[in-house]
Structures are given as C-alpha cells and as structure tokens.
Structure 1
Amino acid sequence: MLPSPKKSAATHEKMLANAAKAEARKLVPQQMGFWPDDRRAIANELARSALFQCRDNRKKREFYDNVALFMLGEGALTYKGEELRERDEDIWVTLTHYARDMEAGKLVVSISSSEICKQNKWRQDQRYYNEIYKSIQRMKGGVITVFSRRLAKTIKYEKALQARASDTELAKLYEEIEKYERRVAEGLNIDLNDPDGMGGMMMSLIGGETTFTGSTGLDADNIPQGNLQWDIVLDRKMVSLFAKAYLTLVDHETRQSLTATGKRLQTYFLSHKKPYPVNLRNLEKMLGLNFGKLPALKLYITEQLKQLQAHGVIHDFSFEKNADKTDWKVTVHREDPSKRDDPRK
C-alpha cells in the first residue's frame, strides 16, 4: 500500500527539519571547535583578509575608522581600531588555541605573558611583555564586522533556534536557504546589498572584562611591568566564526619558522583545498604590503613561496602574465597535480 499524500508530506517535512537542525549544529556550535595541540586554527574569513598586516613594525600604525579591509574571495570585513599586524595575530592565535573546546559563554583564557612568549618562541623578558600588553589593548579596543553568505545562514538558523521554531518553520527555512544556494551555484551575483545572501557579525577579537595581576608598577608609557597573569575574555560570537567546518588548521612548528608574510601565505593557501590562481597585486593588498614596482613584489613573493615549498606547505607554484601585462597571476598547488586524481598514487 502506498503512503497517503498527507503522510508523505509530513515525512518530507520532518526530513527537511532534521537537515536544518544538522546544518544549524554545524553553523551555530555551542563551543569552540577542538584541534590538536600541534596545530593552530584561523577562521577562514580572517585567513583571507587584510586584518593582520605584514608591515614594518618600526612604522607608525594607522587608525582605521570603519574601513573595509581587502578580502580575497567571497565576503567582506570592516575594521574600526588601531592597525593590527602579524605579531598581533601570533598573540590572537595563541589565545584562541587556549580557548579551543570552551563553551560559548565561558571563553575566558587564563594565561601569563611569559606563557604567550613561550608559545611563540619569544624571549621571556619585559620588552615582549610590553608588546603583549599593547597588543591585547589594541585587540580589545578594535571592532571587526565580518560579512559572508555562511554568516547569513548562521544568523537565520540561530534566530530560528532561539525562537524554538517548529519542524514546519525549520523545513521552510531550510528550503529557502537551499534555493538561494542553488541560485548562487548557477551564477547569481552576490554582493553586500543582497538582503537574502549576506549577513554580518560585529565583534571584538577580545571582548568582555579582561583583567590581570602581577604588575610591579608602571613604566614611563604607563604600561604595567612584570610577568602579568591574564584572564582574557573572547567575544562569544567567535564560536560561530570558528565553526569547525570553516577553520584553517596550520602546523604550529612550521608556522613559527616562517616570516610574517610566510605565516599569512601559509594560512591563506591552506584555507583552500585547491587554491585559486590569484593576482600578485591582490595578494599584496591582503598582506598589507606596498611594493610599488611589480618585479620587486614578484621576487619577494617568490622567495616566500619557496620557503613554503621547502617546508612542505605547498607542492609547487607558477606565474603567468595577465592578458593586459599589468600583473602576474600566481597558481599554487598544495599537492602534486599528477598524483591527485590517480587512486594508485
């Protein structure tokens, strides 16, 4: 006997509701994703943006007033605060590493300045302790807003869960989102003005109340001296940004052996299973560099890519002049292309 149309419709609705719940668990986790101790994690949107720049630390930092920072690929990121550089990312990556597997409402990292130095192989002395203090201050004072399609889905599912949506409502939401994703796959142009496709989250890298003990006094620049013991609260929205399916994991030992630019390139290329060919000038923007002359930029990026190749981060790379001869396009392979599709190799 065939099932009645009413029963079939109910079964289909239940199936879609379950699919929505599964998608929600992936997009709206209750805690930070866990990763091994020898890895470090960076959210894909941060890995592909110019939030952490590779500029000369002797140069004065800019203050960004809600500026759109360059991002390679889908999405966008704006930032309000003092310019962040690669050492800020080193500290940030250390904090998120200690927060892995913490629940969303309890992202409190207890760590000393000396332990941050130890994790990054820096000297455990006052000079670096001062840099850590200033970096934490910068990250607490800055505000980022991340826009992407996946965050739009995250927000919609999060609202549905908070409202205790019924199976009927979840099934309808799932169908709406899947219909939109199919339109994207068919070539629909996505931009920040598309109310269905883009969503944003505003957050501080460090949020909430941050405290420390162990100060022996202030120096001439009013920076607390001594090996401070920190209790640092990360913004709870980081849990969604760091959802497991949207993380890039990098080998920590390799990362420590790279230059500031090498670290950013390592993260960027590992954030793609198959990296897209990318213009050198766009890589330059993402890295926060300003070479001026293209040959000098090409030489510099070539040196960095050779280092990644020597460490086994990438298999090979090549350059091809753009059609208008104004730029070079670099293609990177993470694996040997000749072996990738051959099951015998």
Structure 2
Amino acid sequence: MSDPALVEVRDLTVDYVGDNSVARAVNGISFDIKAGEAFGLAGESGCGKSTVAFALARLTRMPGLVTGGEVRFNGENVLAFSKDRLRRYRWGEVSFVFQSAMNALNPVIPVSEQIEDGIVAHRPHLGREAVRARAAEMFELVGISPRRLDDYPHQFSGGMRQRICIAMALALEPKLIIMDEPTTALDVVVQRDIIEQICDLKARFGFSVLFITHDLGLMIEFCDRIGVMYAGELVEVAPASSILTAPQHPYTRALGRSFPPLTGPRVRLEGIEGTPPSLSALPGGCRFSPRCGEAIPICMTRVPLLQPTPVTGGQAACHLLK
C-alpha cells in the first residue's frame, strides 16, 4: 500500500453568499498532496485556486463559506478543529507565502519583530536570545545577512521581501507551505532565483507545497503534479511532465496553446475565445463547453466526472475521453 497523503481534500465546496444570490466558487473538488510533494493549481483568474488555498487553512471569511466536503491533514479533519487546535495548525503545521510581499509585511515594524512574533506565539518557552537566533538563522537560510534583521520592509527589494516571507513561512518547520502567486510582480531573473531557492529548501527540509500561479511554465518546472481548475471545478490532474506534452482535457490543451514554447520552431499563440462564466449563472453540463471547440451535444447537458487517464496516469473530466 502507498503511504497516506499529507493532505486529503474530498468534495470541497465553497460558496460566496450575497443578499439575493449564491455564487459557488469551488464545486466539490477532490485531490491529495503527498508528503514532500509540490502540487500546483493552475487556471484563469477567478477559477477558485486561492479560494481552495484559504479553505485548506480555514481562512475563509464571509461572504465566503465552506458548505461541504472535508479537508484532512495527517488524517485529522481540519474543518472540525477547535480554536486551540487551529492555532497550532496555522503556521506550526501549515504556513503561507502570500501573493504580495509588501502587503504581507507590516511597513512600520522591523522585519525581525514580524518573524519573532510568530516564533514566540507558537514556542513561548524559548528565551529572547533563542528566538533572535532562530530569526537570524532563517535570514541566512534565504540568503539575507542577519545584520539586516532590524531593517524595515521598504529597505528591501521586492525579491528580498519575498525571501523574508519565505523565511517567516519556514521558521516553525511546517509540513506544508501554501504559496499563492509567490513570484507575482517580480522580474523573470528574480523569479527563477526564488524558485530555485524554494526547490533547494524543499529538498533540504522535505516539506510539501501547494503552489498557485498563472505562470504555467514556472509551475511545470517546480511542481510534481498539477491540477487544472476551471469555473470552480477540477478538470484535470496529471504529472507536471505531461500537462503540456499530453494534455487530456480541451481546456488544458487550450492553456498550453496560449503558452509560448521556449524551444523548437516558432508557433502562433492562440488565446481561448470568450470569458469564464459567471459563478452565479453557470451553464449546464460541462462548464467549459460554451468556449470549447471540441464540444459535442452531451457536453451541453451532462456534467463530466473525473476519470483515470492511462496515458498520463492522472485524471480528467471530459466526455471525449474513451
């Protein structure tokens, strides 16, 4: 038998509730994240990627509401955690690298205090010197001189601020790090440096990663497996190595055609016609069918279910699969 997954998501459903409407942002999705694995979530803006990440950490706030399913971490039901258990879970077992480092860091507090506060909150038995030493160790780990611990966020470059966020996420040695667009607004050289550093740290400490980004090329380089989302549903899950070379879902193929290849002959890029549907007025059947050039009549009426795809060893939800 294979080892149990670190994270098990089963039929997760998240709604956003308005005065007179309900928008289903995540519709009954299921996936696992194994120990030591980097699992990516890809898809267009508004497809539900960040909503899934917030649900995993029990950070969903009104008008968002988790209305169904389970999230299990090491076999425990996260959605049933008490306040005390939830406090130990966040940052101690699951930590975060948020989308905008400058917004994630308090601009009027030295970065040392921001790292040390998290350590003290979870390990109050440590003395001041030990906490300071841990913060310095984290700075060294991400390639920043500990002499800069007492600087303010504005005194660092964008890439260095992102490294500080990574240092904060690693300070308590969590088993899972959720990275939501961790390289947004950074130039490609800095992006590569940060991803290489994350890869090195992951290999060194063995933590798992939930990686969310619009950059499919970056995701393929970093992740072991990738889940592709569309309009709140998981339409394909496959090894990263096959997501571009052998995509099984029309939406995954369309994403691949809109991504410029780095090698080989030049090819014309093709965008995906139309726009994602409104979550409060979803089409019947397959949600991608109104934009799909391969749709057949059954796609308009029957919802496809995830099924195994022997070609990739993954899963896809499409009526065209045999």
Range class of TM-score, shorter chain? under 0.3
Relative contact order, higher structure (CA 8 A, sep 6+):
1
Structure whose residues are more often helix by fraction: 1
Q: TM-score, normalised by structure 1?
A: 0.26
